[in-house]
Copies of this chain bind each other. A is one copy, B any other.
Amino acid sequence: MEQYEVQRLKINFKTLEHFENFREYGSQELSMKEDLEENIVENDSESPFYGVYFGDKLVARMSLYRIDKQFDRYFDPPQDYLELWKLEVLPGFQGKGIGNALVDFAKTQGLPVKTNARQRSDDFWAKQGFESVHYDPERDRGENPYVWFPEGVREQK
C-alpha cells in the first residue's frame, strides 16, 4: 500500500481556506479563523488538525485532542487518551488508504484512541482495529463511541 505523509496542520489563512472544502466545517473552524483574524493566535502556529496533502491540496484531515487521565471514562487503567474527530477524506480521494494512514498515525502516538463513529462507518472502524464500547447514556449522549486499545489496556467498567 502506498505511504502517505501525515502532517500536523499549521493555522494560517491557507489552511482555513482548505478547510472550507470539508463537509464537517463548523464552530471549531470558525473559531480558529476568528482567532487568526484577531491575532489571538500566530499565523502558522500549530493546530489540533493533521492532514494529508496531494501536492498543494489538502485532501484529508482529522482533529486529535489529548484528554487528561482525570477525565478518562473509557479505559482501564484510566490514562491520557486521544479523542479523534472530523476524520474526512475528500470525494475523489477516498478508497486509497488515506483515512487508514490518518488513523494509523493516531494509533502510533502511544495512547488509546476514542472516536465517535459516524453512521454506517462501523466496518471502517472495525478494519482499523477499533471496538465499540458498552453504551452509557449519561457518558455517551447519543454518540457511537469506538475505541482502540493498545496492549494491556481494556474497557473501563
Decide yes or no whether A13 CB sits under 8 A from chain B: no
Q: How far is the CA of A153 from the CA of B83 in the complex (A)?
A: 31
B25 touches A137 (CB 8 A): no
A65 touches B141 (CB 8 A): yes
Q: How far is the CA of A30 from the CA of B26 in the complex (A)?
A: 28
List chain B residues, Cβ under 8 A from A48: 137
Decide yes or no whether A46 CB sits under 8 A from chain B: no
Decide yes or no whether A144 CB sits under 8 A from chain B: yes
Chain A at the B interface: SS class: mixed
Q: Which of A75-111 contact B (CB under 8 A)?
A: 83, 85-86
B63 touches A142 (CB 8 A): yes
Q: How far is the CA of A137 from the CA of B142 in the complex (A)?
A: 20
Rounded to whole Å, the gap between the CB of A31 and the closest CB of chain B is: 4
Rounded to whole Å, the gap between the CB of A107 and the closest CB of chain B is: 19
B145 touches A27 (CB 8 A): yes
Decide yes or no whether A57 CB sits under 8 A from chain B: no
Q: Which residue of B lies closest to A143 (CB)?
A: B27
Decide yes or no whether A135 CB sits under 8 A from chain B: yes
B27 touches A132 (CB 8 A): yes
A135 touches B31 (CB 8 A): yes
Pick from A63, A132, A135, A143 the residue with the most CB of B within 10 Å: A135
